[in-house]
Amino acid sequence: MAKEALNKELIELKKAYHDLQINEERYRLIADHVRDVIWTMKLDGSITYISPAIEAVRGLTVEEAKNQAIHEILTPESVLKVGAYMQEQYIAYTSGLPLSSFKGQVDYYRKDGSILHTEVLTYPILGEDFDSTLILGVTRDITERKQFESRLLEQAQILNELNATKDKFFSIIAHDLKNPIRSILGFSELIQEEAKEGKNQPISSYADILHSSAKHTAELLENLLDWAKTQQNSFPFSPSEVAINDLISEEINILRPTADHKNIKLIDATVDQIMVTVDRKMIGTVIRNLISNAIKFTKNGGSITVDACLLPESAVVAVTDTGIGMSEENLSKLFHIVDGFTTRGTDNEKGTGLGLALCKEFIEKHGGEIQVSSELGMGSKFSFTIPLK
């Protein structure tokens, strides 16, 4: 009877062992063919198994991956993250406490040195002793997901900026446009009343204010319309070959009366003929805005110099004034409609808050850059580049 019982037990053990082998083979077959990397690690950090998916994910063979040091596998931040988790498991095991799972992002190095973003899930598998206790891990490539999330964040930022721009745009229409129109209406009524009553003495002063308000309103309307066109991508872009010197000369002649009114020397320092392929209206608008701003912020008796030079790959136009200059804080607010930054000139001239933003848009449309250097009380220098190709 004892012999029969022993034989029966041996048969059951063999069957159990056979079933175990089948299950192990089945799980290994699954592990070897899934896209995620499945691996096991001892509590001392040594890797005991890595699925073949490692080659598709990191570009390494199983043997190459097994022989790598931790700093060759993970980025420094992820080394700290994984190291802290493994240390917690070691302490938990040696203290008789239950082991814990892990879920989080871990960044690996691919064979070519690029970063692989992954999501890692681990499950502790208790063995009979320390050496047979394992951490089972599943590593999933989430690089595409991260790129998609990054694009979503970029789109969200763009939408936020567009909303802020829209709000500022309406603010300009509601406030900056309303006030000068009210001024025009108010002083035109005064002129009308004075004319009816035959009092002609103060009309000339009213006319000056009326002209100033009308000029500011016209400038604001023009900038608003141009800005709206750029935001709708409907601003016509018609590049042709022109001499930048001719453009500068034209804009200086337009603005010279305004400069003369403040006794400001407007100097055309261009010498060489520089040919560029640009949209004449856009670049003319940029030059006009920069000179107009320089006049606005230069005191009576000052000077403004406009120059152009040729570099190997671009033409550079610079407008330098002896004006009041700007602080570092104000410099950072330029070129952005959202900031709504505008200040009054030396003769209390009003700004639209749109001119420099338009300049930036137009120069970038040409593939160039616009820059500014300034110091309080020491004047400002605005310059922009136009690529020759």
Q: Report the candidate in 298, 295, 294, 289 with the shortest Cα–Cα distance to residue 355.
A: 289
Asked if 93 contacts 130 with a C-beta cutoff of 8 angstroms, the reply is yes
Report the chain (389 residues): mean pLDDT per 10 consecutive residues.
Answer: 56 52 50 73 89 90 90 92 92 91 93 92 89 90 84 83 68 60 70 66 64 68 69 73 90 85 89 88 88 88 91 91 82 63 53 72 90 86 90
3-state SS record for the chain: CHHHHHHHHHHHHHHHHHHHHHHHHHHHHHHHHCCCEEEEEECCCCEEEECCHHHHHHCCCHHHHHCCCHHHHECHHHHHHHHHHHHHHHHHHHCCCCCCCEEEEEEEECCCCCEEEEEEEEEEECCCCCCCCEEEEEEEECHHHHHHHHHHHHHHHHHHHHHHHHHHHHHHHHHHCHHHHHHHHHHHHHHHHHHHHCCCCCHHHHHHHHHHHHHHHHHHHHHHHHHHHHHCCCCCCCEEEEEHHHHHHHHHHHHHHHHHHCCCEEEECCCCCCEEEEEHHHHHHHHHHHHHHHHHCCCCCCEEEEEEEECCCEEEEEEEECCCCCCHHHHCCCCCCCCCCCCCCCCCCCCCCCHHHHHHHHHHHCCCCEEEEECCCCCEEEEEEEECC
pLDDT of residue 14: 55
Give residue 175's pLDDT. 54
pLDDT recorded at residue 325: 83
- Rounded-to-integer distance, Cα 141 and Cα 119, Å: 7
Cα–Cα distance for residue pair 177/140, rounded to 1 Å: 57
Which residues on adjacent β-strands are paired with residue 309?
316
- In the chain, the domains with their CATH numbers are 34-141 (3.30.450.20), 237-389 (3.30.565.10)
Task: For the chain, state the CA radius of gyration.
Answer: 37
pTM: 0.49
Residue 147 makes CB contacts below 8 A (sequence gap 6+) with: none
**Sign of the dihedral defined by the CA atoms of residues 341, 346, 349, 354, in that order:** negative
pLDDT at 345: 52
Q: What is the pLDDT of residue 316?
A: 93
Task: Report pLDDT for 165.
Answer: 65
- The whole-number pLDDT of residue 348 equals 52
